[in-house]
Amino acid sequence: MSAIFNFQSLLTVILLLICTCAYIRALAPSLLDKNKTGFLGIFWKCARIGERKSPYVACCCVIMAFTILFSE
């Protein structure tokens, strides 16, 4: 099933996108900082969410990991 139609998979994809963008921005800030607008601005915004809300994102990642591991 596609991640669009399964809510848990959609949340997993969004969390992975936020964490990946924050990690890439920590390693190479110039990659994401030059694209603050337009379609590629989504990645910059995800990196900002990952940086500013990192304790909440980390908690969501841990909760999502437990639900994936133990819900099935």
Cβ contacts of 17 within 8 Å, gap of 6 or more: 43, 46
Residues of the chain scoring pLDDT < 70: 1-4, 72
pTM, to two decimals: 0.79
Range of the domain at 11: 7-71
Q: In this structure, is residue 2 part of a structural domain?
A: no
Q: What pLDDT score does 1 carry?
A: 57
Q: In this structure, is residue 1 part of a structural domain?
A: no
Structural domains in the chain (count): 1
Q: What pLDDT score does 67 carry?
A: 86
Q: In this structure, is residue 43 part of a structural domain?
A: yes
Q: In this structure, is residue 58 part of a structural domain?
A: yes
Q: In this structure, is residue 50 part of a structural domain?
A: yes
Measured distance CA(59)–CA(57) in Å, rounded: 5
First to last CA, the chain: 15
